[in-house]
Structure 1
Amino acid sequence: MFTKAFRVKSNTVMKGSDRRKLRADISAAFPSLSADDLNELVPNKEELNVVKIYAHKGEAVTLYVIHKNPMFFQMEKQLYPTVYTLWRYPDMLAAFTTWAPVVQKLMGGADLMLPGVVVSSAGLPDVKKGDCCSVNIVSNRAPVAVGTAAMSSSDMRSSGMKGKGLNVLHTYMDQLWAFGDKTAPPIIPVTDTSVQADGEMDGVECGEEEEEEVMKNEGEDSEGQNGSEIAAVESSCQGLQDLSLSKQEKEEEQRLHEEEEEVEEEDSRSPQEQMDSLLYQCFLHALKTKLKKSELPLLTGTFLRKHMVSCCPKGKHIDIKKSSYKKFSKFLQTMQKEHSLVQVKELSKGVDSIVEVDWKNSAIRSFCVPEDWEPSEESGEQGESCEVVYHPPEITPLYGVTARLQPLFQDTHQKKGAVLQASEVRTIITDYVKRNELVHETNKSYVKINPILCDCLLEKSEYQDVEVLKWDDLFSRTLNKMQACHQLLFPGQPPVVKKGQVEPIDVSVASRGSNKKVTIIKNLEGFGIDPAMVSDTLQRVVQASAVLHDVPGAKDRQLVQIQGNQVQHVGRLLLEQYQIPRRFIQGLDKAAKAGKKK
Structure 2
Amino acid sequence: MFKKKPNFKPLSPLRSSDRRKLAEQIISDFRLKISNETEPQTELAALRNSLLPDSSLTARFTTTAGPDLKIVSGTIYVGAHPGDEQRILWVRMEERMFPTVYTLWHNPGLVPLLHTPEPVLQKLRNGADLMTPGLARGPPFPTAAIRGSVVAIASLETPSVPMVVGVCEINVSELKAVAGEKGRAVRGMHWEGDELWAWSSGGKGGGVRPTALEGWDTKNGVWMRDLETEIKQLGVDDADIEETEDDGGVPLGEVKGNKPGYNEFSEGEDVPPSKDSQVENKELSTKEVDEAFKRAFLFGLHQHLTVNGADPGNGLDFPLTSSFVIASLVLPFLPTFTPAQTSSLQLKKTSWKNAKKFLKALDKEGLIKTKDRSGGEIVVLDIDWNESAIADFVPYQLPTKDRGNSGGRAGTERISALGSAGQELRRIGLFKPKEKLAPLFKAAEADPKSLYLASEIRPIITAYIESESLVSTTNKRLVAVNPVLANTVFSSDSSTDREVIAKGTVPRDRVIDRVLENCSPFWALLRSNETKDDVKPKAGRAPNIQILLETRSGNKTVTKVSGVETYLVNPSSLAAELQKTCASSTSVGQLVGSSPKNPVMEVMVQGPQTQAVIKALEKNGVNRQWIDVVDKTKGKKR
- Between 1 and 2, higher relative CO (CA 8 Å, sep ≥ 6) is seen in 2
Larger gyration radius, structure 1 or structure 2 = 1
